[in-house]
């Protein structure tokens, strides 16, 4: 259920992206708010971070975390092109999907890598499955903003 809701939101994100021209994606989602391009980079970088959290290996591109998670849109950091960002988003999703499918059911209830063994003993809900629940909500949150770029 958790996984199917994750894929549902990723699919919705892809539908929204398919509806937007590069020009539309480069616009602000609302006056003074992030552009679609920044949100795409942000979502891709946050998904890329899931590899580490889930113990599935290294992030594909840690530089993206610097640009789109630890820095706001207004930072002077050089950003990739829209084509490169879309490719990155698709690559992260494809590999994440492949690797997550190999996680055994019981393994989802083990601790994720950002919580210590001591803390996990006290808070057993801080497991790998919870990362996916949390990231699905995060994706939905920004999806609600990205749809504002789609013409009514």
The footprint of a second copy (CB under 8 A) covers: 1-2, 4-5, 9, 29-33, 125, 127, 129-130, 133-134, 136-138, 140-145, 148, 152
Closer residue to a second copy, CB minimum distance, 83 or 125: 125
Q: Where does residue 12 rank: exposed (0-12), middle (13-18), buried (19+ CB within 10 A)?
A: middle
* 3 touches 107 (CB < 8 A): no
Closer residue to a second copy, CB minimum distance, 86 or 135: 135
- Least separation in angstroms between residue 53's CB and a second copy is 15
Closer residue to a second copy, CB minimum distance, 34 or 59: 34
Q: Considering only CA atoms, give the Rg of the chain.
A: 16
- Least separation in angstroms between residue 49's CB and a second copy is 18
Dihedral angle computed from the Cα positions of residues 67, 72, 73 and 74, in that order, rounded to the nearest 10 degrees:
-110
- Least separation in angstroms between residue 67's CB and a second copy is 20
Q: What is the dihedral sign for C-alpha 126, 13, 63, 59? A: positive
As beta bridge partners, residue 35 has 28
Closer residue to a second copy, CB minimum distance, 4 or 76: 4
Instruction: At 104, list the tokens.
Output: 């055994």
- Least separation in angstroms between residue 129's CB and a second copy is 6
């Amino acid at each position: 259920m958790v996984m199917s809701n994750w894929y549902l939101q990723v699919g919705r994100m892809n539908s929204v992206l398919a509806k937007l021209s590069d020009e539309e994606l480069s616009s602000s989602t609302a006056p003074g708010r992030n552009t679609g391009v920044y949100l795409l980079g942000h979502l891709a970088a946050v998904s890329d971070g899931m590899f580490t959290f889930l113990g599935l290996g290294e992030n594909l591109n840690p530089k993206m975390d610097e640009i789109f998670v630890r820095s706001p849109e207004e930072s002077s950091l050089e950003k990739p092109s829209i084509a490169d960002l879309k490719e990155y988003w698709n690559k992260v999703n494809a590999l994440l999907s492949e690797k997550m499918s190999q996680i055994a059911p019981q393994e989802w209830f083990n601790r994720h890598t950002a919580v210590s063994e001591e803390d996990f003993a006290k808070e057993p809900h801080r497991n790998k499955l919870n990362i996916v629940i949390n990231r699905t909500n995060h994706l939905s949150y920004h999806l609600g903003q990205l749809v504002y770029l789609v013409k009514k």
